[in-house]
């Protein structure tokens, strides 16, 4: 079956990598007969462009960018009620491009992605949901937010090195955040965290295997609680997370559940797939939405 394909590219992704990749993207899709390539014009425009494509009857949307771009397009597909009919394909031109690593999409190979978009297979995958927003990869609280805020102040780095550099800077600065976690099985008392990541997928921040046991099809999310620690212990955890061995450390608690209730002292800042948000309440529900989206992948 040949699919109707619309390509949406964020030219600002990866600090201009999206714009530089445009000629190669256009050529790859022209080779398989796809000429509809549209560019976003500002923050959040991915969702507007995706809704337009849905209204026009495209059954496969290719998103060119990173985790934030992919997530914004996925939100438009799911919110539009098309999660079971419309497929999402991934082109990597962003900073971390983490979700593609878990789902197995050849996102950096534009020609392979073009062929898959037109005639390839797909995988139904779970997504996470927090405060009405869906995430493909992770939602994060604490240290993660400090790093995102720091990244905005750095203009001379890009790609995986940008996150690594900012994370190292914040390891010695970030004071931690107090929170409690409740699931259907247990309630965890309020403790100071360096970071809480609730993951749908395994990879995060470009270089970190944050949730090595996470599955995209098990109907559960993985909560990775990294408790506060002294600077040298933070360094050890930081290094271990690049290999996925941090989950064996005594400062790290791991729990799988279909839903988590988080309680903070005040409405926290949080991120979904690298996108910054401020919560409306101090008690937040995070849950898994099973098989909510079809991802193009071998």
Question: Do residues 126 and 219 lie in contact, with contact meaning Cβ atoms separated by under 8 Å?
Answer: yes
- Domain-embedded: residue 125: no
230 in Cβ contact with 193 (< 8 Å)? no
Q: Give a three-class secondary structure readout of the chain.
A: CCCCEEEEECCCHHHHHHHHHHHHHHHHHHCCCCCCEEECCCCCHHHHHHHHHHHCCCCEEEEEECHHHHHHHHHHHHHCCCCCCCEEEEEECCCCCHHHHHHCCCCCCHHHHHHHHHHCCEEEEEEEEECCEEECCEEEEEHHHHHHHHHCCCCCCCCHHHHHHHHHHHHCCCCCEEEEEECCCCEEEEEEEEEEEEECCCCECCCECCCCCCCCCCCCEEEEEEECCCHHHHHHHHHHHCCCHHHHCCCEEEEEECEEEEEECCCCEEEECCEEEECCCCEEEEEEEEEEEEEECC
Query: Which positions ≥6 away from 231 have C-beta within 8 Å?
Result: 171, 172
For the chain, what is the domain count? 2
**CATH number of the domain encompassing residue 101:** 3.40.50.10330
Structure tokens at 267: 């409405």
CA angle 138, 57, 117 (to 5 degrees): 55
Shared domain for 94 and 149, answered yes or no, is no
pLDDT confidence of residue 96? 79
In this prediction, residue 159 carries a pLDDT of 62
**Quick one: pLDDT at residue 206?**
80
Look at strands 87-92 and 60-65 and give their pairing.
Answer: parallel
The two beta strands, 122-130 and 221-227, are unpaired
CATH number where 260 lies: 2.60.200.40
Distances (CA, A) of 4 to 7, 33, 115: 10, 10, 12
- Is the residue at 126 inside a domain? no
Supply the pLDDT for residue 1.
58
194 and 271 fall within a common domain: yes
Query: pLDDT for 39-50, tens place per residue?
Result: 999 988 999 999
Query: Which of 91, 120, 149 is where one domain is finished?
Result: 120
Indicate whether 103 belongs to any domain.
yes
Q: HSE on the CB side for 112, CA within 13 Å? A: 13
Asked, for residue 69, whether it belongs to a domain, the answer is yes
In this structure, the answer to whether residues 176 and 284 fall within a common structural domain is: yes
What residue numbers bound the domain in which 86 lies?
A: 5-120
Residues 170 and 31 in one domain: no
Mean pLDDT by 10 residues, the chain (298 residues): 90 90 97 97 92 96 96 95 88 90 95 96 96 96 86 70 78 91 89 96 90 97 96 91 96 97 96 93 97 96
Is 295 inside any structural domain? no
Rounded-to-integer distance, Cα 35 and Cα 29, Å: 7
Out of 96, 120, 144, pick the residue that ends a domain.
Answer: 120
Query: pTM (2 decimals)?
Result: 0.91
């Amino acid at each position: 079956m040949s699919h109707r394909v619309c390509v949406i590219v964020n030219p600002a992704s990866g600090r201009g990598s999206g714009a530089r990749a445009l000629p190669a993207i256009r050529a790859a899709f022209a080779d398989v007969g796809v000429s509809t390539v549209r560019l976003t014009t500002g923050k959040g425009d991915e969702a507007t462009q995706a809704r337009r494509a849905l209204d026009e009857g495209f059954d496969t949307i290719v998103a060119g960018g990173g985790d934030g771009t992919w997530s914004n397009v996925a939100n438009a597909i799911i919110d539009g009620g098309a999660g079971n009919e419309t497929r999402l394909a991934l082109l990597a031109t962003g900073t971390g491009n983490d979700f593609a690593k878990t789902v197995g999409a050849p996102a950096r190979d534009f020609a392979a992605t073009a062929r898959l978009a037109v005639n390839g297979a797909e995988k139904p995958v779970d997504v996470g949901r927090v405060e009405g927003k869906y995430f493909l990869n992770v939602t994060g609280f604490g240290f993660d937010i400090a790093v995102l805020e720091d990244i905005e102040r750095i203009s001379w780095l890009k790609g995986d090195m940008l996150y690594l550099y900012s994370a190292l800077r914040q390891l010695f600065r970030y004071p931690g955040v107090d929170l409690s976690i409740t699931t259907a099985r247990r309630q965890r008392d309020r403790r100071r965290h360096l970071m809480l990541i609730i993951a749908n997928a395994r990879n995060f921040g470009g270089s970190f295997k944050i949730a090595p046991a996470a599955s995209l099809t098990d109907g559960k999310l993985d909560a990775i609680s990294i408790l506060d620690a002294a600077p040298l212990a933070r360094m050890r955890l930081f290094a271990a997370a690049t290999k996925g061995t941090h989950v064996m450390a005594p400062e790290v608690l791991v729990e799988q559940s279909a839903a988590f209730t988080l309680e903070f002292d005040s409405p926290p800042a949080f991120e979904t797939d690298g996108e910054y948000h401020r919560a409306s309440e101090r008690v937040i529900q995070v849950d898994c939405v099973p098989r909510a989206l079809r991802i193009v992948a071998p």
